[in-house]
Structure 1
């Protein structure tokens, strides 16, 4: 009814309403007190007038607050969230001008800015897409060329961390554990023998041959170390004649050259958000009781620099060692036949533990999924020392506790599409959660939460949400 009025006039009317309401309350209180004074004495009249005035003002304040909260505060929060999502996460969300109809010209102005921003962003995105396509073509050609060379190539950067691996190196590392960018090479190769070869490399400055052993001691093969210009970085070359290095056809050349020189704090909580490796995972189970139900599937992907690392993933069915209830199968469509011969829960959890090493673990409603990990970890003396991040709590930090925080609601809010055929599959939900995370990280940084420690501090304020959810 008042949406055609200016914002300043509406604010004036709001305060006028408060003043009028205060006068009415005071008048009613005085009238009630006066009547009481005539019958019960002056003192009782004043007391009753004070009580009526106090409750009247409290009621008036509550009513005005509800009006302000519903028609001003909430629309402003929604508007700011939409603008942040557009500005920092690239979400083409529509400004809800109806919900913000009492904010005057603010919502239409924000919508106009957003439309202009979208137009400008589209032009920039088109230019970036052209450049990216050209880079992708060059990368594909380089990958194909390297695949033809019968040598697995690993580029090791600062702190002996993996900065590049080709498809053939991925196939070699996968025989030991899932390949991971920014992982320590000592997670795969025996530290003592590799450091001895590296010492020789630094001393002579020349290519060094050595016998490499896997960290678990089950594999051995001849390899070479080749120095780069700075002594901190080097290549590990494994010839086809000395190891089974069949490439993984689905895995591209994976690299991040900043890992060659950049040194980052070992403490994950003190790192900037774009310097943190994340492992996003999801589980499918036989039921909803972590202390007695069992895993039937684990899906996980790695995120680094706000991007999902293609090829660095886990998608494993698990034999729970018991029948899968029909009610659970109706949700995730996993049957007893599908899991027959699959790894045991302990084997799958061990593999995931290695995959998540030195990374922040992320899940949607993490306490549920981590309960299974911790239960099996305790049985195998496996610990989970790294920080755990929950996208439910990140949603509460960014969008407020009154919003919906389901995975579907988050995906809709942030423009992430989950294909129906992969919804309620471990890998499908893990990828969707990872895409949501990649949208939220820039938004968190824009809010001033630059490090993981700052983000964790904010999520703790909303931890009650998980208690209620579980």
Structure 2
């Protein structure tokens, strides 16, 4: 049981045991002396002496514990957190050798090891950067070619979940809802029509024509359905005149790991890497969940430990009231920005669709999610998603007593947080997502590999912030 406790708590319990043991020994010695006295002696002097000793002994042990905690336990925690940061996320930081000066040669030895590893990581990062640049250029060429083709392309896995879509497909899906990987194709098109087409499919070389329609039936799309040899499907949607306008190039969005995605049965037993995360942030008229309203929402999706480029949610929200100047000075959202914007009901529904079947991630989640939950009835949706809070994740990795503000966390994780995007909904959501991507391998390195294990650990820090997973 004690092995699951933090180092600092175990050390505190050790010193508390010393204080109790000292008091017990003093009580025993005084009781023995009083009992062996030749003449009956009053007990009150012995009791007084014991109380004075117990008070002074407790104060002495407490003082020694404070010194030990500040100069031994805390530096060990910081040292281990920084070593894990470099080992599991490739983020190299200078170790605080001065703060760990009472640990003997441990800190200088750890720093030497960290610098040696950093040199190897830097060399590997250089090679990866060259290869990444080559792949980026090839991806841009492929994107340009697909952008010119008058056909929208969607790749589905055997579960009819989206694995790839191009620019034209993103344009088609955007007319229905925000496009997103791993989404069931039924979130965009009527599955009844699609299932009938699937039953007509024979060999992989056969294409079946199909007229797709959205769930409301207001839009129809001429398409072709083709089976793949690896238990997947391709949908080709012919562009209509309204869709042949010049489209802005955007990334070809795909994740081929989704072709063989394992079925998620119980989210608590699901590995972190198999989950989809939506990191989001809100800007508001003030700091009260009960009294204030949302004026801007931003969100970013994370799949397989990577941010999905091209899948973002960014929307102004009309709060139905003037925005206080004090709030505008922080997030720079004015009344002019929200005129004509969607109200919280429409914006909330759109965000709910964007975050469907995902784990919500926020920095200080009780505030942002509380603002959404108070409008559940109007939205007609249920904000009961599983949640990870980067404040609590920071406490798990770096300890409860450290600073866990978004600025400090990003600086600690070497996550870029540009001043011009700070306190914008999308900018803070992006920073939260990047922090999550760095934190995930560190959590796995600590043995927290499933969602349930992470939640169990974050709930230990409930005095810092409420965990919303119940």
Residues 299-320 of structure 1, C-alpha deviations (whole Å, 9 max, x = no match): 1110112221111001111121
Q: Equivalences for 1:237-256 in 2 at 5 Å? A: 237-241=236-240, 244=243, 248-256=247-255
Give the aligned partner of residue 432 of structure 1.
431
Task: Kindly indicate whether residue 231 of structure 2 is the aligned counterpart of residue 227 of structure 1.
Answer: no
Task: Kindly indicate whether residue 317 of structure 2 is the aligned counterpart of residue 313 of structure 1.
Answer: no
Give the aligned partner of residue 6 of structure 1.
none
Give the aligned partner of residue 41 of structure 1.
41
Q: Equivalences for 1:345-356 in 2 at 5 Å? A: 345-356=344-355
Unaligned runs of 5+ in 2: 1-14
SS at match of 2:296: strand
CA distance in 2, matches of 1:385, 1:303: 19
Give the aligned partner of residue 10 of structure 2.
none
Tell me the TM-score normalized by structure 1.
0.88
Give the aligned partner of residue 138 of structure 1.
138
CA distance in 1, matches of 2:388, 2:246: 34
CA distance in 1, matches of 2:277, 2:391: 16
Deviates more, 1:80-89 or 1:369-378: 369-378
Quickly say closer, same or farther: Cα 1:46–1:182, change in 2 above 3 A. Answer: same
Give the aligned partner of residue 383 of structure 1.
382
> How far is 1:134 from its partner?
1.3
Give the aligned partner of residue 163 of structure 2.
163
> How far is 1:137 from its partner?
1.5
Q: Equivalences for 1:38-437 in 2 at 5 Å? A: 41=41, 43-202=43-202, 206-230=206-230, 232-241=231-240, 244=243, 248-437=247-436
CA distance in 2, matches of 1:246, 1:39: 109
Q: Where do 4+ consecutive residues of structure 1 move more than 4 Å?
A: 37-40, 202-205, 245-248
CA distance in 2, matches of 1:242, 1:110: 64
SS at match of 2:98: coil
- Aligned-residue RMSD, C-alpha: 2.7
Tell me if structure 1 keeps the 8 A contact 2:366–2:466. no
Tell me if structure 2 keeps the 8 A contact 1:158–1:259. no
Quickly say closer, same or farther: Cα 1:202–1:396, change in 2 above 3 A. Answer: farther
Unaligned runs of 5+ in 1: 1-14
Alignment coverage as a number of residue pairs? 444
Deviates more, 1:242-251 or 1:197-206: 242-251
Tell me if structure 2 keeps the 8 A contact 1:268–1:360. no
CA distance in 2, matches of 1:204, 1:118: 49
> How far is 1:372 from its partner?
1.8
Give the aligned partner of residue 450 of structure 2.
451
CA distance in 1, matches of 2:47, 2:443: 52
CA distance in 1, matches of 2:429, 2:277: 12
> How far is 1:79 from its partner?
0.3
Tell me the TM-score normalized by structure 2.
0.88
Quickly say closer, same or farther: Cα 1:454–1:216, change in 2 above 3 A. Answer: farther
CA distance in 2, matches of 1:250, 1:367: 37
Residues 197-241 of structure 1, C-alpha deviations (whole Å, 9 max, x = no match): 1121157862100110112322111110011113x3010001124
Deviates more, 1:73-82 or 1:312-321: 312-321
Residues 59-89 of structure 1, C-alpha deviations (whole Å, 9 max, x = no match): 3322222222111111100100011111112
SS at match of 2:420: helix
Quickly say closer, same or farther: Cα 1:40–1:62, change in 2 above 3 A. Answer: farther
Tell me if structure 1 keeps the 8 A contact 2:143–2:249. no
CA distance in 1, matches of 2:317, 2:300: 17
Deviates more, 1:433-442 or 1:240-249: 240-249
Tell me if structure 1 keeps the 8 A contact 2:204–2:227. no
Quickly say closer, same or farther: Cα 1:144–1:266, change in 2 above 3 A. Answer: farther
Tell me if structure 2 keeps the 8 A contact 1:158–1:263. no
> How far is 1:105 from its partner?
0.3
